[in-house]
Amino acid sequence: MIKPLYALGAFGASLLVQTLTLWLFPFYVALGPVRLAPEQVGLSLALGRLANSAADLLVARWSDTLTTPWGRRRPFLLAGSPLLASCFVLLWLPPERGTPVYLAAVLAGFFALFAAVVNPYLALLADLDLPGPGRVAAAAWQAGGNLLGTAAAYVLSGPVHSRFGFPAMAMAFGLASVACVCSAAWSVRHEPAASGQASLAQALGLLARSVPLRAYLVGLSLAWVGLSMVSLVLVFLVTVLMGLPVPAVPGILSAALLSTGACLPVVARWGQRAGPQRTLEVCLWVAAVFLPMVSLLGYLPVSPELAGYALVGLSGLPLAALYSLPNAILAQLAARHGFQALHFGVQGLVLNLANAAAAAAAGLLLRWGYAPGHDLGLRLVPACAALLVTAGLLAFRRLRHS
């Protein structure tokens, strides 16, 4: 495997999903040609995540057992990426009538195809015959591509859609994503033979009996719900709580990504020495401490803008850990148990249920207010996120002791 080319796959997938996460609520609630209520957008996004959850398991088992002249992972990347990009473009072309149904249907298609591309891509981490530190290093390359894709989404999406419109932005990003994912598909030099022919139910039963896997999934999913809620309302946090104009959003997000990029090599080296799980726990405790401060922007004894930038700098450490360490932990478990793609499929199922819960919860909380002078719901989002991250950390202790 050529690691820089492999990282391009994470770049292409991240570019699309992070752009969607960043702008879906603002586009359909306030900026687009058709306006929907926040709870309608949240419910549609939750349904899309449920479609992702269902597709994850089916694609994972198919990928583990597929035999073709091109390998068992590569066909999913080559065939799925153009379809995924097409659904992404359709998201930004809403019809005047039936928009809620249209949005739910397109999101379901997008996330089902996202599973068909990303699950086999991630399973390649578990396919590698590497010791623990080597697998952490490979995961760091994948995390770097993910981070660069997020950076491109945060930095470029605002200026591009402001000048050319959302549909043109979607077409450009979709083409870039297809090129990157296809490059990653051809970076794989060798793939192991297909897994055994156990049925999906039998394989899931084997995984369900793994105490470390259960502890890992519970801890990660709780933290993921909280942090996903915050990511869905990032634009409102910047424009309402920090009091900055919409054009300032890319700058704030760029600062967060610079901090994350600076912390990524530190986290990767730390994870290689101390172990990925202990490192992830420490970094998530940082998030649990600073998230309540986000809710207090405007009430702290410093200006909201200055406090916001300080919190953005602190966010780099937990974000770097989340980008690089969970997949390394799961790849180690999968390498021991077999059914490599199914491990990532189960993780995808659990995290998409978590994302569905986060989308629905964020939409409901925003009903309590997300505008200047009426922002209670917006302030509740990071406070609830801190509680969920703390609960996830308590669950992670079970994994460490097992």
**Which pair of structure tokens corresponds to residue 122?**
């991630």
| CB of 333 closer than 8 Å to CB of 339 | no
In the prediction, which pLDDT does 308 show? 85
Show the low-confidence residues of the chain (pLDDT under 70): 1-3, 126-135, 188-199, 335, 337-338, 400-402
* Chain centre to alpha carbon of residue 329: 16
Whose structure tokens read 């910047």? 238
By three-state DSSP, how is residue 191 classified? coil
Q: Residue 385 to residues 8, 118, 165: CA-CA distances in angstroms?
A: 30, 26, 32
Nearest to 95 by CA among 164, 36, 43, 33: 33
Q: Residue 88 half-sphere exposure, CB side, CA atoms within 13 Å?
A: 30
Q: How far is CA 227 from CA 121, 167, 222, 315, 380, in A?
A: 23, 28, 9, 11, 13
pLDDT at 320: 86
The residue ranges of every structural domain in the chain are 3-192+206-401
Residues 6+ apart with CB under 8 A from 106: 87, 90, 91
DSSP 8-state class, residue 233: T
Residue pair 362/381 in contact by the 8 Å Cβ criterion: yes
What is the CB neighbour count within 10 angstroms for residue 129? Answer: 9
> Which pLDDT does position 135 carry in this prediction?
66
Class of domain 3-192+206-401: mainly alpha
Contact between 343 and 56 under an 8 Å Cβ cutoff? The reply is no
CB 389 within 8 A of CB 287: yes
**Kindly report the CA angle at 360 between 359 and 363, in degrees rounded to 5?**
85
CB 173, CB 23: distance < 8 Å: no
Q: Is 79 exposed, middle or buried (0-12, 13-18, 19+ CB in 10 A)?
A: middle
d(CA 281, CA 389): 10
pLDDT for the residue 338: 66
